[in-house]
A = this chain, B = another copy of it.
Amino acid sequence: MPGHGNGTGDDAAPRLGVAVVGAGYWGPNLARNFAASGAWDLVALCDLDLDRASRLARSVGRVDVVGSVDDLLARDDVDAVAIATPARTHHGIVMSALRAGKHVVVEKPLAESGVQAREMVDLAQEQGLVLMTDHTYCYTPAVQRIRELVHDGVLGDILYIDSVRINLGIVQPDVDVLWDLAPHDLSILDFILPGGLRPVGVAAHGADPLGAGKACMAYLTLPLPDGAIAHVHVNWMSPTKIRQMVVGGSERTLVWDDLNPQQRLSVYDRGVDLARRGGDERAAATVSYRLGDTWSPALPEREALAAMVDEFAASIRERRAARTDGHAGARVLGILEAGSTSLLQAGTLVKMQQSDDKVGMVA
């Protein structure tokens, strides 16, 4: 049962106990936000490097330091674990944690492959535990608002999404530009689209004009059901930095310019309308235009990780899936895998299966 502490029947829900595994790059951010949250007691930090863990522990207050995951998972005061270790270790640690009855949130990517991810998802389901992917970007005020606008129907039906994420970037040693940058776009698309991102196929075109041994720029095309389309442009070689997503709807179109703090979101009441003449066999269409107002909603200032940590607690308490759950992480991985396959096949469209909890390439 959630709440390791005093089952006092107070009005306020008892705090949940959480431990952070991994005190490297991302762990400190998680630890700081769990420590600051009213929903959580940060009870332990776990890292093979005890020195590093101890330094982190001192900076966030009184927290136990543990050197072994097994010891950590054996503790009763740990309701949940947050995993910020290298991606190759995610599968093993998550499976152990779930078997030990702990809720889990995992830094992205959820695992190294879609197959691993689906195993983790299945086990969490069997155990009745929350498995959440830390798609941090989804918890920024801008993306939260975009999700609301889409889900509330303000944009109408989604017709197309065009996302550009380019800058002068580090040529990563271990991954290509697709796996480095596109996870952000894909996790956001999965978050804002009702039902998640479920393309009918994936085509990816890339180039390595520097001879770096991997794609340094890529275009990802995702035909969606009902004739819509999503497209992602990622590039490490652009002299200018662009972070822009256009979400085109039948009613309104939203432009998110993440580098314009003065007007991050713009909702355009503009578009093309197609009125069909009835009764006519050839259904001649009359096109008209709307050139309405533009509206820029104000956004609150809030750290994304604080909202992520709250959602993790809420999903556990309310016994529901987290908004960026294991399925979401698995869907993103499945699309990246299909993208890599398409890259190797000169951009051929890789078909995706659409069963409810499995997303992946058609075998």
List residues of chain A with CB under 8 Å of any chain B CB.
Answer: 157, 159-160, 162, 168-171, 201, 203, 205-213, 216-217, 219, 221, 223, 226-229, 231, 233, 235-241, 246, 248, 250, 253, 255, 262-263, 266, 268-272, 274, 285, 287, 289, 291-298, 346-349
Mostly, the A contact residues are: strand
Closest beta carbon of chain B to A320's beta carbon, Å: 31
Check B274–A210 contact: CB distance below 8 A.
yes
Interchain CB contact under 8 A, B205 and A168: no
- A168, closest chain B residue (CB): B270
Number of copies: 4
Contacts of A250 in B (CB 8 A): 209
| A12 vs chain B, min Cβ distance (A) | 30
| Cα–Cα distance between A263 and B268 once the two chains are bound (Å) | 11
Contacts of A227 in B (CB 8 A): 207-209, 211
By beta carbon, the residue of chain B nearest A218 is B229
CB atoms of A205 and B223 under 8 A apart: yes
The answer on a CB contact under 8 Å between B289 and A168 is yes
Taking the closest CB of chain B, its distance from the CB of A283, in whole angstroms, is: 8
Contact A294 B263 (CB under 8 A): yes
22 contacts between A and B (CB under 8 A): A160-B237, A162-B233, A162-B235, A168-B289, A171-B272, A171-B274, A171-B285, A205-B221, A205-B231, A207-B223, A207-B227, A209-B226, A210-B274, A231-B233, A237-B248, A237-B253, A239-B246, A239-B253, A240-B246, A240-B262, A295-B296, A296-B296
Contacts of A262 in B (CB 8 A): 240-241
The smallest C-beta distance from A157 to any residue of chain B, in angstroms, reads 8
Given contacts A255-B240, A272-B236, whether A159 and B209 have CB atoms under 8 Å apart is yes
Q: Which residues of B contact A272 (CB under 8 A)?
A: 168-169, 171, 210, 216, 236-237
Choose among B221, B237, B246, B287 the residue that contacts A219 (Cβ–Cβ < 8 A). Answer: B221
User: Which partner residue on chain B sits nearest A227 by CB separation?
Assistant: B209
Q: Quick check: A203 and B201 within 8 Å, CB to CB?
A: no
Residue of A208, A216, A270, A272 contacting most chain B CB atoms (<10 Å)? A272
A298-B287 in contact given A239-B268, A240-B262, A347-B221 (Cβ < 8 Å): no
Q: Select from chain B the residue with minimum beta-carbon distance to A252.
A: B239
Q: Is there an interface contact between B209 and A231, defined as CB atoms closer than 8 Å?
A: no
A137 to B212, CA, bound (A): 35
List chain B residues, Cβ under 8 A from A253.
237-239
B287 touches A268 (CB 8 A): no
Name the residue of chain B whose CB is nearest to the CB of A299: B291
Residues of B within 8 A of A203 (CB): 203, 205, 346-347
Inter-chain CA distance A209–B287, complex, in Å, is 14
List the B side residues contacting A168 at CB < 8 Å. Answer: 270-272, 289, 291
